[in-house]
Structure 1
Amino acid sequence: MTNKINKEDEKLYRKILHDAKQSLQGGPSEEEQRKIIKTGKNNARLTNILISLAIILLILPILTLTTFVYYGFGGKADRLMDVAIYTVYVTEPNISLRPMEIEDDIGLFSMHVLFDVYKRIGKEDYKAGDYDILFNLSQPDFLKKNYYLDRPMPEIPTKEAERLLHPTAVIPFWVGEEWSKLNGLPDGTVAELYLSLSEVLDPAEVSQLMPKGVEVRWLAVDTGLEAEQQDVDGLPLTPIGYPVQVDSTTWSPFNGREKSNQEVFLDLLDTMEQNEDVAVKVASAKSLALNERIAYLKENDIKVYGAVVTGPTPELRKLKDVKEFRAMKVGEVKLWN
């Protein structure tokens, strides 16, 4: 009887073990378990990425809006653009802008200012190049210039490359060769000349030296530092000056409506001094020494030592006989227009 019971118990036990084994064998295999774990990890990673993207997409508009507010508050963008425009007028001879064509592109914590510049040769304005300056908040990078000229000004001012020279400065080029260039030009051309005076003169006196048909475009102003062509620290200086002709364009600072070009020039220097870090980068100069130059001009009348002129080549040749000019450099040349 006992043996019979034991055999039945053993049979029942075996059945239970068999059922349990079958149940275990019906679950996921080891490979399936790894796939389940991997899928879970991927889903978690995707969820984190989507959450991060959602946060970024929310933050970017906020940061961009903050940038717009930064440049818009107190007219900061307009002020930075004005300083760039003023610097071009004051440091680049015979160069003008069309302010209505100036573009600004505000990005994330930055602003690009893009504008074209023009040069008068004869009676027409030619596109001289396009400029691009990047502001990281209020800190500017050096101005990027793309010229369309045959004889562009040097990117960085140096004594050796200077075209307008103080009466006491050394002439770094052969003047006779420049007059030979002018004499070799066809009569059917107009040209731009950089003239250096034998002595500093009143601005009005320079125009009186010109033959008929020759127009004075820009005057280089003596600020007490041009003789040495460097500031007190020995850094080379770029000439500064102002356009002679009144620009009737409403948006030009030299529109002649309230002040003379000389008065506007002094006002622009004051604005540039307050933002000299911007002006230096736009001028591509290591120094403008505006504090010393403004102080000199406040104590002395405006005198000029150089001029940029343009006109028909035959009329320009007559300037060789004018004793008041000690040096000349040929600039841009175009067919008669």
Structure 2
Amino acid sequence: MNMEWTKDKEKKILFKYRFTLTMRVIRVIAATLFFFWLYMLVVSISYHALDLDKKHLFYSRLAMDWTQPNMQDDFGGIESVEITPFLTQKISYPVFKMIGKEPELVGTKQLAKRMIPIYSTNNTEYIKPKTEREYNFYLPEHPKTGNKLNANEDPSVWTKLEKVHEGTVAELSFSTKEYKTPEEMLEFLKPYDLDVLWMPLYTGELKDYEESWHGSGDSLSVEPFGFTGGREARDNYRSTSKYGLEEKFTDENKKLMLKQMKKLLDNESTSYRENFLGLTHLEERYDYLMKEGFQVYGAVVTGPVKELLKLKENEQIQGANLGEMAYWNWVE
């Protein structure tokens, strides 16, 4: 049978071929999207079923309690949690400071837990840019020699407080000339109408292990690691609670701190603790606290400026730093 080849026939064959090819491409794309959706569904369900997001949230807040003075999460507040196709777990939540009796939003905690732990990140994005360390706490004596140390004094701290209106509340940090137990520090501050928020805790720095430090002459300051209200987690991190830094909770706060340190040491890798949470020398710190007990050498407090000014007259206080200020929100 003789079939004459025409341009119309050519167009029909090409059209049919293109249509068939297009349909195949669409089916491949649809199948790819379906399997990708199925993959992400399984990943997401598994991620939340294992409560990994809740665990990372709890431990990141715990690490913040210990290493970032007066940085607090909105307890029970809203956080953003997601897992990417490459299994990177992204978590963010707002962070606050207590200025007087009210929390003030200062930024957002941004966490990225990656498959390769050394590439995990844990950052705080501040609303106001930070150009220097806000809190400087000075050791009362040299860890290696026992010689007495002083603090770098900034007289402008007290001058600023004297010039602002008394209807103002503020945040202040300071060091003490002697080590105290947390109970002694709370007793020491009891005569003042102030809230105690955080205390720098000595955990063997430069004595049992090397730690970054700065200072000049007869002053010495190490990276802050502190004591505050303890956190507890139950039901696979689904239920959490936090105590205040108050005298009646001091024993419980100590027990919880040691308990959570031990859980991290027993159940989490060094890379998780250091690269993701930013908790360095945790084993050495835990061993020191178990052996020597809790010794603090300062505090972060907040309250009316007239009460903060009274601290100037206390000879045990040195190296004060003034933090944020706000309009009056105190309870008489």
TM-score tier after normalising by the smaller chain length: 0.7 to 0.9
Moved more, 105-114 or 196-205: 105-114
Match of 2:104 among 126, 129, 132: 126
Shift of the alpha carbon at 1:162? 4.9
Given the alignment of the two structures, is residue 280 of structure 1 paired with residue 274 of structure 2, yes or no?
yes
Amino acid at match of 2:121: F
Identity rate, percent: 22
Q: Which runs of 5+ in 2 are unaligned?
A: 143-148, 215-221, 233-238
Alignment CA distance shift 1:165-1:35 (3 Å): farther
Q: Which stretches of structure 1, 4 residues or longer, exceed 4 Å deviation after superposition?
A: 32-38, 137-140, 151-154, 169-174, 233-237, 244-247, 255-259
Moved more, 51-60 or 232-241: 232-241
CA distance in 2, matches of 1:194, 1:181: 14
Given the alignment of the two structures, is residue 318 of structure 1 paired with residue 310 of structure 2, yes or no?
yes
CA distance in 2, matches of 1:166, 1:88: 21
CA distance in 1, matches of 2:200, 2:163: 27
How far does the alpha carbon of each residue in 1:137-194 deviate from its partner, in whole angstroms, 9 at most, with x for none? 5847322423245x8585xxxxx76522222478785422323233332222111111
How far does the alpha carbon of each residue in 1:51-106 deviate from its partner, in whole angstroms, 9 at most, with x for none? 22122122112211331244245433322222112111221212222342243234
**What SS does the corresponding residue of 1:224 show, helix, strand or coil?**
coil
Q: What is the match of residue 6 of structure 1?
A: none
CA distance in 2, matches of 1:258, 1:302: 11
CA distance in 2, matches of 1:308, 1:260: 20
Larger radius of gyration: 1
Question: What pairs up with 1:1-337 in 2 under 5 angstroms?
Answer: 27-29=5-7, 35=11, 38-39=14-15, 42-72=18-48, 74-103=50-79, 104-108=81-85, 109-136=87-114, 139=117, 141-148=120-127, 162-168=135-141, 174-210=153-189, 211-225=191-205, 232=210, 238-243=223-228, 251-254=240-243, 260-273=252-265, 274-275=267-268, 276-281=270-275, 285=278, 288-337=280-329
**Which structure carries more helix by proportion?**
1
Amino acid at match of 1:163: N
Shift of the alpha carbon at 1:231? 5.2
Residue 81 of structure 1 contacts residue 113 of structure 1 at CA under 8 Å; is this kept in 2?
A: yes
Shift of the alpha carbon at 1:262? 1.6
Q: Which runs of 5+ in 1 are unaligned?
A: 1-19, 155-159
Alignment CA distance shift 1:246-1:188 (3 Å): farther
Shift of the alpha carbon at 1:289? 0.8
Moved more, 123-132 or 66-75: 66-75
CA distance in 1, matches of 2:137, 2:76: 30
Shift of the alpha carbon at 1:33? 6.8
Instruction: Output the TM-score relative to the length of structure 1.
Output: 0.75
Q: What is the match of residue 7 of structure 1?
A: none
